[in-house]
Structure 1
Amino acid sequence: MNKTSVLLVDDHAIVRAGFRMLLAATDSIEIIAEAERGEAACQLYLEKKPDVVVLDLSMPGIGGLECIRRICDRVPEAKILVFSVHEENVYVSRALEAGAKGYITKSSAPNILVEAILKIAAGGMYFEPGLEKSYPNFVGNHLAEVDYKNLMNTLTPKEFDIFCLLAKGLTTHKIAGELCLSYKTVANYATQIKTKFNAATVAELAHIATALGVLKK
């Protein structure tokens, strides 16, 4: 029986080791390559041509969402499963829009990962039960949430990553270090994001992020 080949993408070596141990117990799946950054994952995908990519969203460099987009731009039929700590609906939506075929959280049962990989490899889609959440009807007292949702959809993958980090309270310097970008680049992104949402402060961005489900209340 041919095994389903997997490219594993996560910036934490201990997490990848755990995945290897889990999938090693499965006769039908094998990890053929690993990457800790999105840039390397894009290159490895083209070289190794795995059946499925299992990918985290939060990584330094281009990040998971941009990695999905780049792979799917080159290979539209690529089969990518997001395996993330984020369970908020907005992350699922962004991953789908980028081209992912499935989404599960790292808190899911071990058998869910195996089930998801095999289903996506067979041409299906897989989403962990319970990820679908409704948004609140309004944000604040002046603008319907759907307007913010539409604005969210205009963010580039990098803008989205920086938006999330700003909303979580990280400083521009910390975000620059987290994403391996210059301070000036992050500051420019922050200005663009505030302009798009017509937000004067990071606190306003945090309020919007909470209402959209990017941050938990």
Structure 2
Amino acid sequence: MELKEKKTKSIRDIINKFSTVTNKIEIVDRNVNEIIDAFEAGYPTDESDLNLFYIHSLKLRIYVYLSRKRKATLQIEKVSSNALMVNFWFFGSIFDAQEWDQIGIKEEEFTDFSNFLEELYHVYQFKVGGIAFEEDVLNLFSCNETYPNECYRFEKVVPDHFLQKPSNFIEIIWSEKYKKLSHIPYNHIRLDKEGILIKTGSFNE
């Protein structure tokens, strides 16, 4: 997502919009203000050299109500001077894990995650987002650097790269507000608000 304003305001805007998402999102942590303040302050990549980049990162424990109530983690990272990466991390196994109080994903529940991704796009209208196992959207950039890094600037993610290079993503939503797509080598459907859902993989693979 593009970082246009102060970091604190951007984070609060993301969290405040939870109430407009069709799937209920419930925050478990009670010290949200402290967590946001810590994100704003950040911490140096090397405490012995305070002139290095600062990491601005937060994690919130949440529940997301899909067809069943699921534990998840909201992770937000400042990856460049003008871009935020927002992740919703879910337990990805098909088996329940009682020791972690996690439920597995049944085959008929795969569409829950696709629908949730579409709902997030309708609310936040992000430039690019997707569903993957143990991957995040930084893998859609033509950059392999550790963040924060200016190679992850908001304007540097382009579909030419991720449509040509195989990835571990199952689905990707791209906003054609930023670039119209004429040739898409995957099955795809067009969404409201200039979105396009590209099916780059399968939950069963």
Same fold flag (TM > 0.5): no
Provide TM-score, normalisation by structure 2: 0.28
